[in-house]
Structure 1
Amino acid sequence: MSASRTAVPSRPHLTSLMYSLPVRRLREILIHVVPNATLGTVEELISTQLPRLYALNMSDDQKLLLSFAPSLAVRLLRQEATLLSSEATLVCFVAGSDQRAEKERTSIQGQIELPNSMALPEIVPKLLKHSSNNREMAYPYSIFKPTAGAPLSTLSIYLSIPERRLVDKQVGCMIRALANHISPSDTFGNVARVLPDAYNIASPISPRARGSAAWSEAFNTLLEGILRDGEDMAVLLPYESIRSHYQRLSWHLDAVTQPRLVILDAGSDTNIMVERGAEKGASMTMAAGVRLTGLRSWSHGVFGDPLLCDAFENPTEGFLEGWRQGGEELIEDKHNAETRLLLYRCYRACVSVVTEHYRPQVDSSRRELEGRRKLTSVLAELDKVDVVEPDVLKRARSLSGESEISKRPKLED
């Protein structure tokens, strides 16, 4: 790590809102969002997420959550360029899909012991207003009804072993429920590439889906994106080795034929929202006393292999129990799943290292070293993978004229 890098302090919590948020303009917008109430106090929330979060206290005691895009001073990775619009698009997609799936969920409710709070419509935040442009408040923003509870990272030390196992089980159920959603265009890729942005009013015609026909191509777009981010900042990484492993083993990814919805950080303690102290009458027993209420951020959505979710890197018994409760097997080509998991671990390790160079913090050295340790470990395991590609796939690649250069997609977006 370069010695010239300087740490960027975290955002001051007590900074005057008049300099960070156009409160007067916000009041005008809220008149149309909540006609019968006015904006009272505004409080900036401490969060590890990129968007700036504000608690809006309304005159009728209603509380709202404002998610404000990062300032221009924050350097973003390629995959973070459409954070707020991707989140708004995904939340609307899941909410609409679950209305159609209500009958199916009811029919299997007797077979799966899930608390009512695990129904996706109840843990996906309700979006009240979203703007993808900079005209209204200088930055894109979203207004939600806030998710109850607090990040698991702030409560985990207070949970008993049975409580933590129950949370992990609910996370497994949630990730399983998300994976039941298939790309409407049958293409692979992140939400911004697969789903049209319904909030983009720049053009009267909604953009068509630009997803990839194969999962190997879509994953390569993600991998190349973070590698080029690293190259842009001259981050020291074994780029040649990483690309070589992908070229050698990418045919394993073509076994994934169903583009299923994955939230990349759905297993992160900083993103999981939980609430302690179940009320009487709730479907969860009082002995449990803890429940999953949703996610803090829904912005990192991808249609692809469910194994790409970070929860599968070191899955707990509770998580696997929740994941398996759905019955039907969703993981394709389980025989070669371990090889795919290695490629996904390599990708996440690269993201962790490069991110610390883009947004250095006080403890970036520790975080970067941990990311490099994981990268070194997974590359050593990839070196041991020596699987011969089936002849039928070799012939298909040869006939298509595919070359190593063609596997590196254009990333102008």
Structure 2
Amino acid sequence: MSSSRTAIPPHQHLTSLMYALPVRRLKEILSHVFPDETLGPVEELKTTQLSRLYSLTMSDDRKLMLSFAPSLSVHLLRHEAAILSSEAKLAYFVTESDQRLESQEPNLTEADQVPKHAGLSALIPKLLKHSPNNREMAYPYSIFELTTGVPLSTVAIYLSLPERRLIDKQIGLMARALASFISPSGGFGSVNRVLPVPFMKPAPTSTALETMGSMSWSDAFHGLLEGVLRDGEDKAVLLPYEVIRAHYKRLSYHLDSVLVPRLLVLDIGNDRNVMVERGLDEEGSLQPSAEGVRLAGLRSWSQGIFGDALLADCFDDPSEVCLEGWREGGEDIIEDEDNARVRMLLYRCFRAVVTIVTEYYRPQSDSSRRELEGRRKLTSALGEIEKLGTTVSDTPKRRRSVADDVGPKRQRPRLESMSISS
């Protein structure tokens, strides 16, 4: 190991006298959101997420969730710097998009109607209030309607195999529903870079949506990759930095075949982030239910990105039922499938490096296990990339044009053929 790490309790950062909740100020803010209600009990939610979460109960028993920016004692990676704003922007964007779609549908012809997003709005918490700065409560914050469910990681052992398969399929459906949203500015990159601040009206002089984000997916992904590599270098984490950079430089032109910036969530398949709902007893153990288990959404929607949908972690050695859910969610939207495997290997390197470096920034009791798993995946991905030296041309291919799609096309490989074994 290149640097020492001391394990800290997983929830140590959640409660601190330095970051006491300003209840009086919170009551005043909520009085503007719900003029006829008052704030009741406030309870801190135990979570492994970076944001500090509180459950708020209003006088009419309405349940809300307050999300505070991470405390200053929490070490964040570069791509995590704006997680609170990213989550608020994503939730607001999806909700507003669906509302606009519903208002337009009566005026659309049957051919022009856009398919529903597979009930995605029901999985994303409704954003009620967001402050991107520290003017109101000393810290940026968001207020959502409280979502139901418990993390999949806490109840996975109680699920039967068919129930787990059902959740995996629903994750695939959710990933496909997210991918139906396209960057409104045409730019690639994190949601925080691409989308405007929620509830803020555009300037009166604005005639068109300002183009925000990167102009190409290769540039946007390079920013993500280089960011986590620099995070590792800052902590002197032992990694093959130059090897990874050399591989990216050699193969990055494959990312330029991704021309449509689609919405994805990096950790959409993480058991600690996936929320499920079923019959629960007082201890949180799953009980039999006639309706069965269902996906309730995600605990955090902060890792949103507009780019290649295959970057999401649910495509890292995906199960067949997850791919089945993805295919059932709509028509095929993966661009340049012939070279998708090359892109997925680069993504796999990125995710592995994130796993490794995160354990040095926020060590936990099981960090060694997580780090070793990340290193195993990184070694495997780099080994696969080395083999591409004799099978992938280093000369960039001509981009496909509309004319290329007019004539007969040979059968393209199905999505499941792109999965990369460990």
TM-score normalised according to structure 1 size: 0.85
CA contact (8 A) 1:52 1:68 kept: yes
Equivalent residue runs for 1:343-358 within 5 Å? 343-358=346-361
CA distance in 2: counterparts of 1:16 and 1:23, whole angstroms: 15
Residue 300 (structure 1) aligned with residue 314 (structure 2):
no
CA contact (8 A) 2:14 2:52 kept: no
Equivalent residue runs for 1:3-402 within 5 Å? 4-12=4-12, 15=15, 20-102=20-102, 103=105, 118-198=118-198, 208-277=210-279, 287-386=290-389, 387-390=392-395
Q: Secondary structure at the match of 2:222?
A: helix
Deviation at 1:326, TM superposition (A): 3.0
Deviation at 1:205, TM superposition (A): 9.2
Change (3 A) 1:257 1:130: same
Change (3 A) 1:300 1:16: closer
TM-score normalised according to structure 2 size: 0.83
Deviation at 1:317, TM superposition (A): 1.8
CA distance in 1: counterparts of 2:71 and 2:252, whole angstroms: 37
Q: Secondary structure at the match of 1:228?
A: helix
Q: Secondary structure at the match of 2:97?
A: helix
CA contact (8 A) 1:152 1:271 kept: yes
Moved more, 222-231 or 36-45: 36-45
Q: Which runs of 5+ in 1 are unaligned?
A: 279-285, 395-413
- Offset from partner CA, 1:263-310 (integer Å, 9 cap, x none): 1111111111111159xxxxxxx7551211211111111111110000
CA contact (8 A) 1:55 1:64 kept: yes
Change (3 A) 1:117 1:272: farther
Q: Secondary structure at the match of 1:217?
A: helix
What residue is the counterpart of 2:415 in the other structure? none
Q: Which amino acid aligns with 2:9?
A: P
Q: Secondary structure at the match of 2:297?
A: strand
Structure 1 moving runs of 4+ over 6 Å: 104-108, 203-207
CA distance in 2: counterparts of 1:18 and 1:61, whole angstroms: 30
- Offset from partner CA, 1:303-344 (integer Å, 9 cap, x none): 111100000002112211111013411111111111111100
Deviation at 1:177, TM superposition (A): 0.8
Q: Which amino acid aligns with 2:34?
A: V
Deviation at 1:245, TM superposition (A): 0.6
Change (3 A) 1:213 1:265: same
Query: Equivalent pairs: percent with the same residue?
Result: 65
CA distance in 1: counterparts of 2:117 and 2:247, whole angstroms: 42
- Offset from partner CA, 1:165-200 (integer Å, 9 cap, x none): 111111111110110111112121111221122467
Change (3 A) 1:327 1:91: closer
CA distance in 2: counterparts of 1:49 and 1:177, whole angstroms: 24
CA contact (8 A) 1:193 1:209 kept: no
CA distance in 1: counterparts of 2:326 and 2:350, whole angstroms: 23
Change (3 A) 1:391 1:301: closer
What is the number of equivalent residue pairs in this alignment? Answer: 380
Q: Which runs of 5+ in 2 are unaligned?
A: 281-288, 400-422
Change (3 A) 1:44 1:204: farther
Q: Which amino acid aligns with 1:344?
A: Y
CA contact (8 A) 1:346 1:379 kept: yes
Q: Which amino acid aligns with 2:214?
A: S
